[in-house]
Chains A and B, each alone.
Chain A
Amino acid sequence: MTQRVKFYQTGTFTVGNRLLDAESRTVQATVERNNSLTSGHRACQGCGEALGARYAVDAAMRACNSQLLCVNATGCLEVFSTPYPESSWRVAWLHSLFGNAPAVASGVAAALRAKGRTETRVLAQGGDGGTVDIGMGCLSGMFERNDDVLYICYDNEAYMNTGVQRSGRTPPGARTSTTPAVGPHPGNVFGQGKHPAIIAMAHDIPYVATASVADLHDLEEKVTKAMSIGGARFIHVHVPCPLGWGSEPCNTMRLARLAVETGLFPLFEGEHGEVISTTPIRRRQPVEEYLKLQKRFRHVIGDPQALAAIQALADRNIRRFNLVRENAA
């Protein structure tokens, strides 16, 4: 009855694990990590976006031997990191406008190609508003031309930097400053929404993925894989925002995790327009567990109909992406 030693206490769920060999740990577990977004930035306490950006850019830096150039859309990530002329970035970094980051990145990639600097890679990043709303036109162009850019969207589900206005990524039922929790249908409308990863896949680009700040190993693998490919690539990262969501700063990870475990934020990868893998849910949770930790959903908790409608969205994702599997743990 000898058991093979395959169990390492926390496996790869934690950031590091002293019992695992170094290759199985994350970039974030190393003291050599770049800290691309360094201390002193002005993001709120417990900001998921600040964390997501460091995770992603550090992994990208590692993948290209630090030959990276970042283009940033306007939004919290830009404002809290770079109150001109001070900066938290430890990477070549460029900011232009709210809606044009993909176009600027395409231009940078073209310039590098013209100069023959093929070893330098381009990463563009922005919030959900900058990506799925105002930036969608030039993002679609960047995809359709297959420009050599990795675009990363940090999705905190509203326009946080300007005071929590609704975006195309604001979930149904959520209260924002433009979708107040009043009237017969409080909060954001049910029915529509934008899934940027699916929109990106519709362009048949080489690589598309969704990721969560709560699943670091998965996120780093996806960034690393994206960096190993040429052409247009897109990663959509879910990042809780304590200010906009009305959640405790210490709950940022828990919320990101619950979004995955409820099925509300499915994790998958696509290549050339087809889904190639989905990440199964480890411990499935009802949506209420996720919603009840956020003030933006407070009115939903007492509304069985709204609750059921949100649960139905989660269930649909679970079916669509086959997220609940036997022996998933």
Chain B
Amino acid sequence: MTQKKPFAITLDIGSSLANHTGSWRTERPVYVHRMPPCNNACPAGENIQGWLHDAEEGRYEDAWHTLTADNPLPAIHGRVCYHPCEDACNRGQLDTSVNIHAIERFLGDEALRQGWKISCAPQTGKRVLVVGSGPSGLSAAYHLRRLGHAVVIYEAGAEAGGMMRYGIPQYRMPRDILDAEIGRIAGLGVEFRLNSKVEDLEETMDAERCDAAFIAIGAHLAKRVDIPARDAGGILDAVSVLRGVEKGDAPSFIGRRVAVYGGGNTALDVARTAERLGAKEAMLIYRRTREQMPAHDFEVAEALEEGVQVHWLSTIAGVEGAKVKIEKMKLDENGWPQPTGEFETLEADTVILALGQMTDSDFLAQVDGVKISKDGVVEVDAGMMTGRPGIFAGGDMVPAERSVTVAVGHGKLAARNIDAYLRGTRFEHAPRPELATFDRLNTWYFTDADKTRQAQLDMARRLSSFKEIVQGLDEETALFESRRCLSCGNCFECDNCYGVCPDNAVKKLGPGQGYEFNYEFCKGCGLCAAECPCGAIAIVPEQI
């Protein structure tokens, strides 16, 4: 319309849509996915925020599929994982962290109840040997199967599960759950060879015609210390006691008074197991203080509740029959315990050592290129491969924190690298987005809601059986708890950006589709980013 305009009139008749205010902009908003702190902290690399998003809508099966893309064992993890995700959870800075593990357990149990199924890619024709059926071996097998490879697991023991079966007691890890989650992996076509200890790795690989191997044999040899003892018969080690309980050949009489030497989770579990086996008194002897204990707080608290006594800052100096001589320790200025020369005598029928474990990796010494360091630990590269191409390792036997979840994470990472190895490519990590830190959130919008607690078995029943202590959440409570998630760094479709733009420059694309900026009109004021509750919008400088 270039017709002559009246005096002092410069614009055309019509809508202001002709005026593209986007040209005012010096910065532009963009939708981003930031890394939620929970995901960042999960050793198994779960997309926690992602599966909580599904669960929030009551789409539990979708949530479970999102979860099991990374971790094949949610019902197990919901029970035994030390949940570092919850320590990192942003909601912890608002009121209390999201009870992630309880929801994970709910999803895991629901999957078992309803028989939700996993699918695998078409067969690739490749075959992989997995040695050890602990969480790490199971995880590798599962991920390899899903990628289409054939998998055979060799397991020295009579049943699969590793330390989840022969270490973690039933009051924390019910065996029907363990069996069911392992059964689901077997159902994918993973072959299990039980009672089959691998002595010669290369021979086994040849015999099974495998193209690669993943070793995850854990750390099962108890460390011992030299304790002057008149009669060493009363001195046991924790892993043997726990394994014995599981196999049904526990010592028939553990004694009235049991002393456990150590301060880790294993020490606590064996003390609590002794109580359940009939010991009237279980005590821990630990060199340092409670703050320095490697055991997790909640486990210490549960043990103390159950009447386990602890002698802090004490070492065992000698055992003579039923008398245990302990020496008091004192922390020096560096926080190390030092002997004081003060002694005390305790009565104990049994002494159980829980001083850590070593890996029985002798059989790997003959494999060219595999490097073994202190305590039998095997060295691996960033892709979990040992010095020998095609042979990978993970879990307790490699240098890392020892937990079920770390083991599962290793199994997944190894599977992805093995897959790349078998295809003659390299596995590349997806680029890690920037962290969705608390200061990225606009928490004003979130409703106050305190964490829901899980019910516990009453004390009398706890001490008289190996029944599971912590109870699950029911559906409504799990839904409530999922909805406490702040959705850190990822859009949850609250419509705030769509609503607060003074220039209508945000397009709403519909449920599940998110939004889009209309840069023709966006002036770059930044209100959308400031008012996004979860930090899913970044402001970036305009290229001018």
Contacts and interface: CB of A to CB of B under 8 A. Distances in A.
A61 B520 CA distance: 26
A13 interface: yes
Contact of A249 (B16, B21, B453, B525): B525
A40 B521 contact: yes
A28 B11 CA distance: 30
Interface in A22-69: 25-26, 28-29, 31, 35, 38-43, 45-48, 50-51, 54
A305 B511 CA distance: 52
Contacts of B480: 3, 5, 7
Given A19-B56, A86-B13, A39 B525 contact: no
Interface string B491-531: 01111101111111100101100000010110111110111
A320 interface: no
A254 B533 CA distance: 12
Interface in A1-26: 1-5, 7-11, 13-19, 25-26
B498 A3 contact: no
Contacts of B445: 10, 13-14
B143 to A, nearest CB: 32
B250 interface: no
A35 to B, nearest CB: 5
A296 interface: no
Contacts of A2: 474, 476-477
Interface in B202-243: none
A29 B498 contact: yes
Contacts of A25: 495
Contact of B526 (A4, A84, A249): A249
A4 B14 contact: no
Contacts of B9: 84-85
B476 A4 contact: yes
Nearest to B21: A40
A39 B13 contact: no
Contacts of B448: 329
A40 B18 contact: yes
Given A10-B445, A18-B493, A249-B527, A51 B511 contact: no
Contact size range, A: 35 or more
Contacts of A46: 502, 523, 525-527
Contacts of B16: 38-42, 81, 86-88
Contacts of A9: 56, 446-447, 483-487, 492
B7 to A, nearest CB: 12
A253 interface: yes
A132 B247 CA distance: 86
Nearest to A242: B525
Contacts of B484: 7, 9
A26 B493 CA distance: 14
Nearest to A249: B525
Contact of A86 (B14, B452, B501, B510): B14
Contact size range, B: 35 or more
Contact of A43 (B479, B502, B511, B520): B502
A14 B452 CA distance: 24
Contact of B15 (A31, A38, A254): A38
Contacts of A19: 56-57, 483
Contacts of A35: 504
Contacts of A42: 16, 19, 21
Contact of A45 (B17, B479, B525, B531): B525
Given A41-B503, A50-B503, A86-B14, A8 B494 contact: no
B523 A45 contact: yes
Most-contacted residue by chain B among A39, A90, A257 (CB, 10 A) = A39
Nearest to B53: A18
Interface in B432-486: 444-449, 452-453, 455, 474, 476-477, 479-480, 483-486
B401 interface: no
Nearest to B11: A86
A164 to B, nearest CB: 19
A250 B530 contact: yes
A111 B453 CA distance: 65
A216 interface: yes
Contacts of A81: 16
A86 B500 contact: no
A45 B495 contact: no
A15 B496 contact: yes
A40 B19 contact: yes
Most-contacted residue by chain A among B19, B500, B505, B521 (CB, 10 A) = B500
B495 A47 contact: no
Given A40-B15, A86-B11, A16 B499 contact: yes
A51 B11 contact: no
A252 interface: yes
Given A2-B476, A54-B504, A86-B14, A39 B521 contact: yes
B12 interface: yes
Nearest to A84: B9
Interface string B406-421: 0000000000000000
A301 B447 CA distance: 31
B280 interface: no
A1 B477 contact: yes
Interface string A74-93: 00000001011111101000
A84 B15 CA distance: 11
Contact of B525 (A10, A31, A84, A250): A250
Contacts of B11: 83-86
* The 10 residue pairs across chains A and B that have the minimum distance between CB atoms: A16-B495, A15-B499, A40-B16, A250-B526, A46-B525, A45-B525, A14-B494, A249-B525, A39-B521, A40-B19
11 contacts: A9-B446, A9-B484, A13-B444, A17-B494, A19-B56, A41-B503, A46-B525, A48-B502, A51-B501, A87-B14, A90-B15
Interface of A: 1-5, 7-11, 13-19, 25-26, 28-29, 31, 35, 38-43, 45-48, 50-51, 54, 81, 83-88, 90, 216, 242, 248-254, 257, 283, 329
